[in-house]
Amino acid sequence: MTVASLIFILLGAVATIGAVMTVFARDVTRMAIGLGTFLVAVAGFFVYWGATFLGVAQLFVYVGGVLVLVLFAIMLVHRNPEGSPHLETRHDVSALAVAGGLFIMVVMALRDDVPASVDQGISSGPQELAEAFLGPMLTHFEIGGVLLLAVLVAVVVIVGGEER
Amino acid sequence: MSALAWGAVWGLAAGLVIALAALIGVWGERKVAGRIQMRIGPQELGPFGLLQTLSDTVKLVLKEDITPRAADVRVFRAAPLIVFAPIAMSFAVVPYAAGFVPLNTSVGLLFFMAVPAISVIGVLLAGWSSRNTYATIGGLRAAAQMISYELSRTLSILPFVLLAGSMRPLEVMDAWRWWWIPLTAIGFVVYLISSIAEVNRGPFDLPEAESELVAGYFADYSGIRWAIFMMAEYGGMVVAALFAAAFFFGGYLGLPGVLGPIALILKATAIVVLMIWVKWTFPRMRPDQLMKTAWKVLTPMALVQLVIVGAVIPWL
């Protein structure tokens, strides 16, 4: 086992711990801490793959911006004196199926291509990144945009659901 | 393994430099404050009272490290480190001497802005985990303040990226010319004010506000953890001054050998003294004044600076 793969496994472990904490923590601030841990680990992955710009941008935008806003919102929201509300979902089985399916897809896709070395020819600087996004990767970029739009619509549906 | 080992060595070195900077910084602050208030400042221990902070440090380390009963213990204990570590990391992208910067990355300037942003989370968590109204208000104020001033601070260093065409610290230093000083003068003012706000120092010390919030987000901290918060504050001030000395004032350039880094440190010291001077001269701002300064004064100023530089570049 090389140092590089050790770092990779360590980052993976940190990301997993963060993700598990985000989902299972009882306290909403703990969830935010879990999310922060996960986001930092993702930034670490970007740096690991040589995409330094992306990693630092991830830190700046998500950890330094979005996460701070999340914590800010949590602190401004009135704390319920009767304890946290009971969170449950009607879709736990289907959610588990989707998550399991995605996990199997990722494992299948990476099975023969376990990250062995850091240098995979991924663009590092901002210029290469811009060229890739507006050139060969344009379709992927747009699909990512559509996914984010879908997430936004989903948020509106979930939040608006209570009022109907 | 060597990369990891070097990383550990650099981390240790940064920690020591910050500790030393905090020692001298606290002494300097008390001396400058004393002169401004027509006092002498510390003078009992050692020549010019130089050993005063050292004895204070020993006292702080030996003091009991109290955790409030109602606090969220793990978060409470981790928060000072979350504040301190990013500040220590930002020391890595300052060009100290010709051809020498600890972390020579292609996104150095962005790194310098992005990584200290993590310490906002530490401040918020410190305020929240104390389970104390004063601390929570302090944490919230700090978050609002640090996010607001981050914007103008980042905008104020963009002229260098435009002028040098690179975010790599050494490439910016290679491209540096003396006429950048007058050209980026507005940017320096914005950078200096935003940096003071970013490290929560007076007149922007609303998150701490010892006279109303009894030290705000670190009201419940004592002993070594309190010392770590203070080290983060002085470390942030020193690294902001080093960065300004390097990019706004040419740092080590123009001087041979070891004189270069000495010039950098002298310039940085002058900026630190300026920051202390500002703190002891101006009264604390109100929250609305604070927000107004950030969004209606500093951000437009930084944008004007950007336009000026943008107008100059085609003529180069």
User: Looking at the complex, does the CB of residue A3 fall below 8 Å from at least one CB of chain B?
Assistant: yes
The answer to the question of residue A35 being in a domain is yes
Which of A79-83, B75-79, B271-275 shows the highest mean pLDDT? Answer: B271-275
The residue of chain B with its CA nearest to that of A7 is B4
Question: Is residue A1 very low, low, confident or very high in pLDDT (cuts 50, 70, 90)?
Answer: low
Question: Is residue A161 very low, low, confident or very high in pLDDT (cuts 50, 70, 90)?
Answer: low
The answer to the question of residue A56 being in a domain is yes
Distance from CA of A111 to the nearest CA of B (A): 27
Domain count, chain A: 2
* A11 & A65 share domain: yes
pLDDT score of B269 more than 60: yes
User: Looking at the complex, does the CB of residue B120 fall below 8 Å from at least one CB of chain A?
Assistant: yes
The answer to the question of residue A120 being in a domain is no
CATH number of the structural domain spanning residue A63: 1.20.120.1200
The answer to the question of residue A164 being in a domain is yes
Output the average pLDDT for chain A: 80
Average pLDDT over every residue of B236-245:
89
- For residue B148, what are the CA distances in angstroms to B107, B116, B122, B180, B294? 22, 14, 17, 26, 6
**Nearest residue, CB atoms, B139 vs list A57, A67, A75:** A75
Average pLDDT over every residue of B138-151:
82
Contact residues for B291 (Cβ-Cβ < 8 A; gap 6+): B144, B148
User: Looking at the complex, does the CB of residue B198 fall below 8 Å from at least one CB of chain A?
Assistant: no
Given A80, A115, A148, the domain boundary residue is A80
Question: Given this model, what pLDDT does residue A45 score?
Answer: 85
CB B236 within 8 A of CB B274: no
* A70 & A130 share domain: no
Q: Which domain holds residue A71?
A: 3-80
User: Looking at the complex, does the CB of residue A63 fall below 8 Å from at least one CB of chain B?
Assistant: yes
Question: Is residue A101 very low, low, confident or very high in pLDDT (cuts 50, 70, 90)?
Answer: very high
* A8 & A76 share domain: yes
Question: Given this model, what pLDDT does residue A64 score?
Answer: 80
Distance from CA of B155 to the nearest CA of A (A): 14
Which residues 71-100 of A are in CB contact (within 8 Å) with B? 71-72, 75-76
How many angstroms separate the CA atoms of B221 and B232, rounded?
14
Given A43, A60, A80, the domain boundary residue is A80
Question: Given this model, what pLDDT does residue A116 score?
Answer: 53
Average pLDDT over every residue of A26-40:
85
pLDDT score of A164 more than 60: no
The answer to the question of residue A108 being in a domain is no
User: Looking at the complex, does the CB of residue A59 fall below 8 Å from at least one CB of chain B?
Assistant: yes
pLDDT score of A146 more than 90: yes
pLDDT score of B55 more than 70: yes
Of B112, B130, B123, B127, nearest to B146 by C-alpha is B123
* A7 & A67 share domain: yes
* A132 & A76 share domain: no
How many angstroms separate the CA atoms of B182 and A61, rounded?
32
pLDDT score of A120 more than 70: no
ipTM: 0.76
The answer to the question of residue A119 being in a domain is no
pLDDT score of A163 more than 60: no
pLDDT score of B90 more than 90: no
Decide if B115 and A36 are in contact by the 8 Å CB cutoff: no
- Percentage with pLDDT > 90 across chain A: 13
- Secondary structure element (H or E) that encloses residue A8, with its range: helix A3-24
Given A50, A80, A110, the domain boundary residue is A80
User: Looking at the complex, does the CB of residue A15 fall below 8 Å from at least one CB of chain B?
Assistant: no
Q: Contacts of residue B3 in chain A, CB cutoff 8 Å? A: 3
The answer to the question of residue A12 being in a domain is yes
* A66 & A13 share domain: yes
- For residue B84, what are the CA distances in angstroms to A21, A80, A97, B229? 24, 32, 42, 7
Average pLDDT over every residue of B22-28:
82
* A76 & A16 share domain: yes
pLDDT score of A119 more than 60: no
Question: Given this model, what pLDDT does residue A48 score?
Answer: 82
Which of A63-72, A147-156, B57-66, B211-220 shows the highest mean pLDDT? Answer: A147-156
Average pLDDT over every residue of B220-225:
79
- For residue A152, what are the CA distances in angstroms to A89, A96, A146, B157? 19, 21, 10, 33
**Nearest residue, CB atoms, B128 vs list A29, A40, A124:** A29
User: Looking at the complex, does the CB of residue A118 fall below 8 Å from at least one CB of chain B?
Assistant: no
Question: Given this model, what pLDDT does residue B60 score?
Answer: 78
* A66 & A129 share domain: no
Residue environment code for B237-271, b if the CB has 16+ CB neighbours within 10 A, otherwise e: bbbbbbbbbbbbbbbbbebeeeebbebbbebbbeb
For the beta carbon of residue A48, count every other beta carbon within 10 angstroms. 16
Question: Is residue A32 very low, low, confident or very high in pLDDT (cuts 50, 70, 90)?
Answer: confident
Question: Given this model, what pLDDT does residue B40 score?
Answer: 78
Question: Is residue A38 very low, low, confident or very high in pLDDT (cuts 50, 70, 90)?
Answer: very high
Output the average pLDDT for chain B: 82
* A12 & A74 share domain: yes
- Percentage with pLDDT > 70 across chain B: 96
Decide if B105 and A52 are in contact by the 8 Å CB cutoff: yes
The answer to the question of residue A25 being in a domain is yes
